[in-house]
Chains A and B, each alone.
Chain A
Amino acid sequence: MISLDTILIVTSGGLVLGAIYALMASGLAVVWTTLGIFNFAHGAFIAAGAYIGWQIAHADASGLGLVAGTLGTLLAMFVFGVLFHIALVRPFERRANIVAASVITTLAGATVIENVINLIWGPRSKQIGRMLDGDFSLGPIALSMNDLALVVIVVATLGLVGWFLGATRTGRSMRAVAQNREAAELMGLDVPRLYAAAFGLSAAMAGLAGIFIGSIRFMTPTMGADPLMKALIVVIFGGVARFTSPIYAALIIGMVEAFSTYFVGLYWTPAVLFALMMVVLVLKPAGLFGKHQRTL
């Protein structure tokens, strides 16, 4: 018999998972919707963000503290994303095979990032450490303060990004480019710069996700592979019809994973997720909340 407590514990676990997935997946979706390509280096971006954050924040390295680490990571990853776009994606713009070519170059880029991390920081695992200590409990719900802070920051970040896309001029320009590149160009928008900005924004979000993962798990140079797969599942599952679609999907996937791990077992959970994703793709290729048109 499953008690209510169990369900609540599993649910709160799913919530934390869902929050991290939401951050990763919406970062991935920003690039997908704007440029129409899939960035396979997103997982490597997460790893790079985690290591940069560790380098700035951790006492064994620069030791400037977590706030400086987070801000530094956001800035560094934004610049890195822009450069990545210029080097690996822009050469194929306007070519017929951009989708395939960028799959290959971003995969290769991911390999380069992973190995460069390996060269700089070595293969030994590291940890950024918790943002906050202590536990938080409200009735039967019990979370660590770290998890709570994580959820709060993710919600705030996504809200900020949502506001940026919906209310600022740059954000609205990005959405316009996503909807119709030619029309946006005719209206005088600087499309290459907006593409680069979208890549930078996506990379910064990946960097933040990297810091969160580094705070609760061990970091290795290949730590991005698993989050990339999860983000992939989430984005496909939810579609990218709106900025919010991957967020809902992330919550659902987080819950499915938490419950599946508890009831079906750790080994079968990834298989369950991939099977779920394939079913969605076959029945509704544009995702659960998807429409045919790409938009942000």
Chain B
Amino acid sequence: MRYDPPFHRSNGLTPAIAAIVVLAVFPLIFEASYLRHLMILAFVFAVVAASWDLSLGYGGLFNFAHVALFAVGIYTYGILAKTFGLNPWLAVLAAGPVAMIFAAAVALPVLRLDGIYVILVTIAFSQLIYQIIISQSQITGGTSGMVTLPPLSVDGYRFVKDGKIGYYYTGLVLLVAACIFLHLTVRSRVGRAIVALRDNKYYAISRGVAEGRTRLQTLCASALFTGIAGGFYGSYVRVASPDIFGLGSLALLLSILLVGGAGTIWGPVMAAFAITLLSEAIADLGAWRNIITALLIIVVMVFYPGGLWGLTQELREAAAVALSSLRARRRRRVLRMAREERLRTAERMIRTRYGAVAVADSGPATGQSGPPILMLHGNSACKEAFLHQFAAFRDNHRVIAFDLPGHGASDNADPEETYNVPAYADVAEDVLTELEVECPVVLGWSLGGYVALELTARAPSAYAGLAITGTSPLNVVPDDFARGYDPDSHVVLAGKQFLTLAEQKRFAGSATVPLSPESAFLHENFDRTDGRTRYYMITKLSVVDWPRQMRMLRAGAIPFAVLNGADDPFLDHAYIAGLPYGSLWTGAPCDVEEGAHAPFFNRPDAFNTAFSRFLQEGCCQRESSR
């Protein structure tokens, strides 16, 4: 199951465009040549550090010769443009492939090495290049380096003029191009292989990832823009000096990478600007400058390994959580009437062990008295999804539904403790205890179906019946996931914390019903739902006692009905029908004709008829057999 939307359909599009616009406008506002100089350096360092992250962060391959590859780019530019008089633009571009050749030369000795040995060989390699450059003074200028390299120009317009404006925009284009290249590489088949080798080498190899070839590709891909950035840097500072091999530039680039956050492209890019400006701000401090930089690296490594990127993600999460809390409060205060109108039922807040939840309770039945019904809603939905059931069953049953924590009008709760299926079942128990409901029939939809299975499996005899809809019982998780569900991107969306607007629309459309005036309130739930509920629910599936649910179903310990939609876009009906059930009502799943993932909403009459028959026949049989 793979879901990987292209960049223009991901959450990154808006910030990326905003960043490019800001950087493009920047020199028009700030005309100080020195500030532009710093920005040009930041562009170069961002490209080099982000490229380095491909091998170090994504690949887990500690290539300490990366700075040497940058130096190779500089010297290539110097030799081609000055010694051979090649067009400077061509020389800049040629620096990329030359650096790739050197990267391939680094890759050969480390193809089969691991861990610390990779670090040692690459350091040795980098020293080897350094020694060669030092010793070949007739070509490279030896320890004094090469000076007065040709600058970049177009039609005689020297790029350093007008406050280096030409270099500024060339650097920006270089950065954008490098980011696009790295992003595409990471998303490509090779990129997946790189990450797979890092995460589980032997599993990746056994699945057909060629270790040696992938390492070669990793290092070459990370060298391409590093070399070009080196060529551009050479054309800008117009010096190729062996000083670049020193610990200073290693520490600078490494700190950009780590402070930004390893394993991301954008972290090092952000950090390049922060660190270049910071290191310039404290430039007057002499030795203290290096000490502060080094201490910064140590502090980040020890206390904040996620770096700037991790910080951004945490801020983003905090903002999203705060926003969803605000929306929940607004729902409680302002929108309560509309909700109660929808269910024609008063809402009350009930305090559970995981915070307060909003409960709708239709109260004692007025007509013929059937068992009470507890309804559990699905992922990113709310209790009002069951409005047709409230209307149909309230006369003969006590109908109860509540918003799961993090959904609807309920509180957001501690994600680690609360946003998982067993905790939701705890909440349901608390609600039933508070309302003094005994022996209810539980109807669970999708995620709520798993909550219902978990809840009833704890004490099957305490419930009059169990009906699931939009749910596939699972035996072995996650293996059965692929069998119970059509392998579809929606399973990924169901666990994705931050959905884009397009994803929300798509997911809401297929998980509930397509957008219409009637279903608009279900679509609005995505703005309110705490995104962490999706992420934690999916990642904590393993804390559920799945075999216990299956044992209950196999033993027929509870009257059980499957009321899926016949046209459910996610479920694999053959798998569900083939499971061993001890007592399945009617002996087979009762699929609702033309019902989608929420058949009780899009085909309420057919669903209610079936559910009503289950309430009368299925659950009554149990009472008579007692």
Contact = CB atoms under 8 A, between A and B. Distances in A.
A100 B62 contact: yes
Nearest to A277: B124
B131 A91 contact: no
A105 B116 contact: no
Interface string A252-296: 000000000000000110110011011001100100000000000
B464 to A, nearest CB: 50
Interface stretch (B175-183, B283-291, B507-515): B283-291
Top 9 nearest A-B pairs (CB, nearest first) are A267-B135, A111-B294, A108-B294, A271-B131, A115-B287, A274-B128, A108-B297, A270-B131, A282-B109
Contacts of A87: 298
B387 interface: no
Interface in A97-149: 99-101, 103-105, 107-112, 114-116, 118-119
Interface string B85-123: 000000000000000000000001100010111011101
Given A118-B287, A274-B124, A278-B109, A268 B247 contact: no
Interface of A: 32, 36-38, 87-88, 91-92, 99-101, 103-105, 107-112, 114-116, 118-119, 225, 229, 232-233, 236, 267-268, 270-271, 274-275, 277-278, 281-282, 285
17 contacts: A99-B115, A100-B62, A101-B305, A104-B301, A105-B301, A107-B250, A108-B301, A111-B291, A116-B287, A233-B124, A236-B124, A271-B128, A278-B128, A281-B117, A281-B121, A282-B108, A285-B113
Contacts of B113: 281-282, 285
B258 interface: yes
Contact of B295 (A32, A110, A112): A112
B294 to A, nearest CB: 4
Given A115-B287, A116-B287, A281-B121, 18 more contacts: A37-B116, A38-B116, A91-B302, A104-B254, A104-B258, A108-B294, A108-B297, A108-B301, A109-B298, A111-B247, A111-B291, A112-B295, A114-B290, A115-B291, A278-B125, A282-B108, A282-B109, A285-B113
A291 to B, nearest CB: 15
Nearest to A106: B298
Interface in B269-307: 287-288, 290-291, 293-295, 297-298, 301-302, 305
B247 to A, nearest CB: 7
A267 B134 contact: yes
Contacts of B493: none
A108 B299 CA distance: 10
B134 A115 contact: no
Contacts of B121: 278, 281-282
Contacts of B305: 101
Given A38-B116, A38-B120, A104-B254, A119 B287 contact: yes
Nearest to A101: B301
A110 B247 contact: yes
Given A271-B135, A282-B109, A103 B62 contact: yes
Which of A87, A92, A107, A111 gathers most chain B CB within 10 Å?
A111
B126 to A, nearest CB: 9
A103 to B, nearest CB: 6
Contact of A281 (B109, B247, B258, B287): B109
Contacts of A281: 109, 113, 117, 120-121, 124
Interface in B117-151: 117, 119-121, 123-125, 127-128, 131-132, 134-135
Nearest to B106: A278
Nearest to B251: A111
A43 to B, nearest CB: 10
B362 to A, nearest CB: 53
Contacts of A108: 251, 255, 294-295, 297-298, 301
Contacts of A274: 124-125, 127-128, 131
Contacts of B120: 38, 232, 236, 281
Contacts of A114: 290
Contacts of B297: 104-105, 108
Contacts of A233: 124
A100 B297 CA distance: 13
Interface in B537-562: none
B614 to A, nearest CB: 51
Nearest to B135: A267
Contacts of B251: 107-108, 111
A38 B62 CA distance: 13
Interface string B56-82: 100010100000000000000000000
A203 to B, nearest CB: 18
A267 B138 CA distance: 13
Contacts of B117: 281, 285
Contacts of B132: 271
A108 B253 CA distance: 12
A91 B116 CA distance: 19
A271 B129 CA distance: 8
A245 to B, nearest CB: 15
B252 to A, nearest CB: 10
Which of A101, A109, A110, A282 gathers most chain B CB within 10 Å?
A282
A289 to B, nearest CB: 16
B123 A232 contact: yes
A38 B301 contact: no
Which of A104, A271, A282 gathers most chain B CB within 10 Å?
A104
A281 B297 CA distance: 30
A45 to B, nearest CB: 15
A109 to B, nearest CB: 7
A220 B276 CA distance: 28
Given A99-B116, A271-B128, A225 B301 contact: no
Contacts of A271: 128, 131-132, 135
A275 B128 contact: yes
Contacts of B134: 267
A115 B135 contact: no
A107 B288 contact: no
A75 B113 CA distance: 38
Contacts of A225: 247
A101 B303 CA distance: 12
A124 B295 CA distance: 25
B288 A115 contact: yes
Nearest to B117: A285
Contact of B290 (A37, A104, A111): A111
Contacts of A110: 247
Contacts of B123: 232
A92 B300 CA distance: 12
